[in-house]
Amino acid sequence: MSREPGFSGGRQFSASKSASSPTRQPLVAILLNRKQDKKILHMKKEFDRTSIEGSARYFQNCVRNGDVESALDCFDEDAIYITGIGAFVTGKENIRKALEQVCALKPDLQAQRSTGFTVGDITAWLDEWTLKAILPDGTTLDMKGTSSDILKKQPNGNWVYLVDNPYGAEYLHL
């Protein structure tokens, strides 16, 4: 299956479905190269957090807009957040401190491609992303990676991060 460059989009695979018939979650698809599409994404305030992709896009939107409290709401009470190669924090108060640093930059955080594998109320989620920001000293930050996350469905139907590892397999390269 081919995708046009610059679109986010994901496949969702579930243990209750046959592997030959993946279900596709609703897309928050944008063209990264079009200014008007960026405006639409930044203005959009409604996300379906009962879908895994909707929850991931909501978190990214919170980070882009510097909304620490809403970004923190995307984590389970006992979550782990990978803050760098070889470094992580646990629990919401420690995650808040890490998110304050990232959200303060209001980075242009975009998803490129995504997929997930769900068993019951747990999902393994892979998300290819790019992040661009200007640091306080004027340095340009231009990063990309593939996150390897675990999400859990809450009683209210929303999905939250149990493990947010934006570095994916790069975490192994200490």
User: pLDDT tens for residues 70-123?
Assistant: 999 999 999 999 998 889 999 999 999 999 999 999 999 999 999 999 999 999
Locate tokens 């303060």: which residue?
A: 104
DSSP 8-state class, residue 114: E
Which CATH code, of 3.10.450.50, 3.40.50.300, 2.40.50.180, 1.10.940.10, is assigned to 10-172? 3.10.450.50
Beta strands at 75-84 and 159-164: parallel, antiparallel or unpaired: parallel
Buried b (16+ CB within 10 A) or exposed e, 118-131: beeeebebebbbbb
pTM across the whole model: 0.74
Phi, psi of 4 (to 5 degrees): -75, 140
